[in-house]
Amino acid sequence: MIAVVGYGAMGKLIYEAIDGEKCVVAPECEYKTLNELPYKVDSIIDFSNHNNLDMVLNYAKSHKIPVVIGTTGYSDEELNKIKEASKIVPIMHSSNYSVGINLLNKLLHEITPILKDNYDIEVLEAHHNKKKDAPSGTLLTLLKTLKEETGYEVALDRTTSKPRQKEEIGVSVVRGGTIAGTHEVMYLGDDEEIILTHRASSKKIFVSGALKAHAWLLGKLPGLYTMEDVLND
């Protein structure tokens, strides 16, 4: 039995895609918390809200079951809670379960050290007008990779009277319409541009990736895993 926590756009799609026994936990559904379930579930897939983190982790630790977390917008304190819980149960945590995005992130590790000295680096992300967090969790993951490979500072705000600094990574965020998710990493040089783009046409790619991650996580030892572990395996 799989418990799907959250019944927003992603939660609904995941619930519908699961082949087998399942239940859904959300304020608008029959079960509002995991502790209300009349039976024990074997795993949790959480695409809800960061406010549900304690409930999800406490239930998982108490019953020693694996968790796939797709929720974004966590604070540093909450991320530390996930890390500590992973010492007790296996946890898959990714800001984006698209195979393409994770391959893009892997590519950034390879090409950024080659290009950083002669190209300005700018990143852009665009999502639908109902997305709450900005920048997106996916963009923060890409920025983490870029910072690791360059040591540059991130410029989230372009309100300045000074020209662009050499050792910085510029960020642009767009919110509007029904955009499922677009991420661009731009390497801008003299008379040359290299632009890597990932564009999601629908949320189905995230559902497919999340279910692959869930299947991979079953039977794993306690630890904090990412989609990169799934791809490398």
Which residues participate in catalysis according to the annotation? 127, 131
Instruction: Extract the tokens encoding 1.
Output: 């039995």
Rounded CA separation 103/138 (Å): 13
